[in-house]
Amino acid sequence: SPHLSVTNYEKIRTKLLGKNDVISINRKSSWTNYIGWGAAAVFVIGFGLQYFKLDESKTTIDKLATEKSLMQESIVDLEFEKQEAEKVLAIVRDNNNIQVALGGQEVAPNAYAKAYYNKETNEVYIDASGLPNPPEGKVYQVWGLKLDPLTPQSIGLLDNFTANNSKVFKVDKADGAEAFGITLEPAGGSVSPTLEQLYTLGKV
């Protein structure tokens, strides 16, 4: 560039310096920050609600699964009870079965039972719904009797008495029985009947 005089240099310098004024920077308005924080809060709340709903759904599913399991157990129980009822009805309605009423004896005057006896097959079913639950450590024992001379024959125990809802028990066959009796015996049964604990007795 050509040589500048001091005067011209100063003029140019002054003009250049005058153009370098400080430029003020306007800050962005604070509401944009609020929008950002608000969006974050909405996200956090929404995530929390979704987690709560998910947890609630899992609880509902677990509850429904438990109810379904209980319902299935109830259906099985009802089916079992239905089969038991049908079996009892079949026994009662079988014309080949003789119904023998067993009346209460001195030790239990209000007790009663029924024996369903098939003379052709010698099969015996006992309806023990009229007997009280046996004490702990005791069991009812059924006897087939021949009367002349009096000969008792054990034809079975009424095990699991409390658990049997129908109170109908199939016992052993009784060949030529002329009467049936039920005594209360120690758990496991006895070789001969305890006559002092004779609960019911009935003649064919």
Please state, as a whole number, how many other Cβ atoms lie within 10 Å of the Cβ of residue 58: 10
Q: What angle do CA 93, 75, 89 make, to 5 degrees?
A: 5
Q: Tell me how crowded residue 10 is: count the other CB atoms within 10 A of its CB.
A: 11
- By the 10 Å C-beta count (0-12 exposed, 13-18 middle, 19+ buried), 144 is classed as buried
DSSP secondary structure letter of residue 160? S
pLDDT per residue, tens digit, the chain (204 aa), is 566 566 777 777 777 776 555 555 555 556 666 777 777 777 778 777 787 777 777 888 888 888 877 787 778 767 766 776 677 677 777 788 899 999 999 999 999 999 999 988 999 999 999 999 999 999 999 999 998 898 999 999 999 999 888 899 999 999 889 999 999 999 999 999 999 999 999 999
What SS3 state is found at 150?
A: strand
Q: What is the DSSP letter of 196?
A: G
